[in-house]
Amino acid sequence: MVEKFKFISNSLSMILNRLAQSITAFVLTASIARTLGTEALGQYLLAYSYYLIFVGIASQGLKTLFTRELAREPQKTPVYLMSGTWLQLIFSFFSYAALVIVVFLLPYSSKTSTVCYIMGLTIVPFALSNITEAIFQAKEKMHLIAIATVPIYILRLIIMIWAMQLKYGIEYLGAIQFFSEILILIIQWIFIIPLVKIQWQIDRSFVFNTIKEARTFFAIEAMAVVSGRIQILILSLLGNELLVGLFGGIAQLLQPFLIIANSIILAIFPRFSKAVEQGRDKQRQIAEHIIEILLIIALPLYLGILLFGKDLLVFIYNTSFAEANIALSLAAASLLFLPFTRSLSYLLVANGFEIVNLREVVITTTLGSLGGVVLVSHYQLIGAALIALLMTIFGFIQYIYFTYTRLFSLNLWRILCRPLIITIVMLPILILLQKLNLDFIFTLIIATCAYSLFVIYLGIGAFGGFRFLWLKFLK
């Protein structure tokens, strides 16, 4: 029971952190579109995409490796903190230099390139904070991450909106992003000092061994982040910043689910790693439970987007985004497969099969890049959405295959039962709301309340029913 509540606490902390990040990014995207226009939004999202790609190359491999190893050997935390931070700093400088070279060589306008250069500076503080966050995750103290980041995300959003109201351009938003990440890094170091006995020396053997061990993780994360942003890059080269802005607006509507999914997976990852020694039945139980939770969120969300996607786009952004409704419906279909791919990818890493993840991202990114050039050149925005869906399906097929052949099979009925029940129950409610044609905000509130009640009811049933809840907790 203690482990369950610890998992819930860590999951909620990570969800709070990611939700704050997602909501502020969501509000910022809508504010840029409304205040500065769709083209300016495209410039911002393109710069943010390059930043994510190169910071992913520089840092995400180390974060995943450190979380796994420190969950198994927590006594080595001081070495990982100091030597890992130094190693991360070097990687960050090289990554930023690579970003500058790539952007300089591509045929972007001077303003778009400048925004990319400024936003790219954020690579350094963000990458360094990944080391401290890996330690917090391994120690299962994810609440410290939320405390350090959530207030800064909110403050950053307020300052950015204020700057746009004062007619400051996109480049100033990139500078604000950079300084806010420096502040987060400082706060996290203040939190970590009492937890870790710092050793002010660099372990060279550790550095060389880490570079050797992290090669696969670096390749996985680099290809994964490129895979996630390949549509925007292709649109920027074969289309224009306006199309980038439209596609970025669509992607932002799917971010809340991705943030929740990643938060839950990151919270459970240390337990995945520890469960390797407990046997495959324990791992199967954890994996099926996590996929089921994510499907309970994903299936009703996809249904809502199919019925109210156009209204949502106009409500969040402006009427110019209504034309992106078909593309949104195509991209949102990936919600049916993401619960499997996100969960099984970390399950394979926990079992030491990170080479499988590398194969998946290489195959998916290669096929996505080649298919993206063809589809985007012919169908523009719809082509980008279609290739995003196809890449998700490619990943789903590969992860299911490797999980079944390397580890174990999944009980699909056990996974799908409750998500399908909630979706089927929500269907007539959403259709009725669509027929009533109420104000969108009222429709959203009613649908959310109905969904929440069904989830709570099923959750109570999973814990043993109302009587068990009363006897065990309330009484």
pLDDT at 33: 83
- Per domain, the residue ranges of the chain are 2-437
Question: For the chain, what's the residue count?
Answer: 475
pLDDT tens, residue by residue, 198-220:
777 777 777 777 777 766 666 66
Q: How confident is the model at residue 466 (pLDDT cuts 50, 70, 90)?
A: very low
Cβ burial of 159 (10 Å; 0-12, 13-18, 19+) is middle
In percent, the amount of the chain with pLDDT more than 90 equals 19
Tell me how far apart the alpha carbons of residues 393 and 106 are, in angstroms, rounded to a whole number: 30
Tokens of 413: 């009925």
Question: Region 438-454: what's the mean pLDDT?
Answer: 85
Tell me how far apart the alpha carbons of residues 450 and 453 are, in angstroms, rounded to a whole number: 5
Query: Strand runs (DSSP E) across 158-317, as ranges?
Result: none
Does residue 74 surpass a pLDDT of 60?
A: yes
Tell me how far apart the alpha carbons of residues 226 and 218 are, in angstroms, rounded to a whole number: 12
Question: Which residues are CB-neighbours of 190 under 8 A, at least 6 positions away?
Answer: none
Cβ-count burial 181-192 (b if 16+ within 10 Å, e if not) = bbbbbebbbebb
pLDDT tens, residue by residue, 88-140:
888 889 889 999 998 998 888 888 899 999 999 999 998 888 888 888 877 77
Cα 258–262–267 angle (5° rounding)? 155
Does residue 462 surpass a pLDDT of 70?
A: no
pLDDT tens, residue by residue, 313-324:
888 887 878 888
pLDDT at 253: 83
Give the up-direction half-sphere exposure of residue 449: CA atoms within 13 A in the CB hemisphere.
7
pLDDT at 131: 84
- Average pLDDT of the chain is 82
Tell me how far apart the alpha carbons of residues 110 and 310 are, in angstroms, rounded to a whole number: 34
pLDDT tens, residue by residue, 18-35:
778 778 888 898 888 888
